[in-house]
Chains A and B, each alone.
Chain A
Amino acid sequence: MEFSRRDTLALGVGAAALTMLPISVSAAADDAVAAFTGGADVSETGVELTAPEIAENGNTVPISVEAGGAVAILVLATGNPTPGVAQFNFGAMSGAQAASTRVRLAGTQDIVAIAKMADGSFAKAQQTVKVTIGGCGG
């Protein structure tokens, strides 16, 4: 197959768009993290995030988060069009700082859970989920 000038240009633009896309997506997730933590240091231990390694259907992916001593847990899907998933705020009557729910994932990506502890520190957990069929419709 021979490349015309037009094909070559289109290829170049496509490749540039592909490389730009992940950067812009993770920037939105980083903003959400910064808004939640206020730029404070985030430790890597203290949160447990459970999600399947491979999800066949991105429309309902069961996840659960647990962080002893947390007052709030923020869950983000870094590869979704909007990274926010949910924020759990635990009240005085909460029996354990744990919750499960089902989420939509647009494609294979990392899920991030950030917990705000009662003493004001932050902790995070991250897991990659492979998605066979994305859950954002089309």
Chain B
Amino acid sequence: MASGVKPRVKAPKKVAAGEIATIKCLISHKMESGQRKDKEGNKIPRSIINRFTCDFNGTNALDVTLEPAISTNPYFQFEVMIPEAGELKFTWYDDDGSVYETAKKVAIG
């Protein structure tokens, strides 16, 4: 597992039913592209997050395949339809097999 990985999500706590909410999320990750070389001229092996998904109450909203061209600390902004109260679940999949998860509750009101 890459060190110091911390997911951060900004989502509204309360929305009107059927509203489209803007979600911003960022995860701290060095996203080593596999192109860089160290001082000795050896290639630093690739280590990135290769997939990100966002689900609302178990239904998928966004599924992103990431390539090495995504910047350090991958950031995404997107929109999710919120028809009812529930939970937004965010999942990041690392190249080394680790999975980082976080969730946000959304209320209607």
A89-126: CB near B (< 8 Å → 1, else 0) gives 11111111011111111000000000000000000000
Complex CA gap A126/B80 in Å reads 26
- The verdict on B16 contacting chain A, using a C-beta distance below 8 Å, is no
The answer on a CB contact under 8 Å between A137 and B33 is yes
- The verdict on B99 contacting chain A, using a C-beta distance below 8 Å, is no
The answer on a CB contact under 8 Å between A59 and B69 is no
Task: Kindly provide the distance from the CB of A28 to the nearest chain B CB, expressed in whole angstroms.
Answer: 12
Which of A90, A96, A103 interacts with B70 by CB under 8 Å?
Answer: A103
Complex CA gap A96/B76 in Å reads 14
Which of A82, A89, A95, A138 interacts with B68 by CB under 8 Å?
Answer: A82
Task: Kindly provide the distance from the CB of A70 to the nearest chain B CB, expressed in whole angstroms.
Answer: 12
User: Interface residues of B toward A: which range?
Assistant: 20 to 34
- The verdict on B3 contacting chain A, using a C-beta distance below 8 Å, is no
Q: Which B residues between 57 and 109 are near A, CB-CB below 8 angstroms?
A: 57, 59-72, 74-82
User: Interface residues of A toward B: which range?
Assistant: 20 to 34
The answer on a CB contact under 8 Å between A91 and B64 is no
The answer on a CB contact under 8 Å between A81 and B67 is no
Complex CA gap A61/B71 in Å reads 8
Task: Kindly provide the distance from the CB of A40 to the nearest chain B CB, expressed in whole angstroms.
Answer: 20
* A-B contacts, CB under 8 A, total: 110
User: Main secondary structure on chain A at its contact with chain B?
Assistant: strand
The answer on a CB contact under 8 Å between A91 and B62 is yes
From known contacts A98-B79, A102-B75, infer whether A93 and B55 are also in contact, taking CB-CB under 8 Å.
Answer: yes
- The verdict on B36 contacting chain A, using a C-beta distance below 8 Å, is yes
The answer on a CB contact under 8 Å between A86 and B70 is yes
The answer on a CB contact under 8 Å between B81 and A94 is yes
- What chain B residues lie within 8 Å of A100 (beta carbons)? 75-78
The answer on a CB contact under 8 Å between B69 and A89 is no
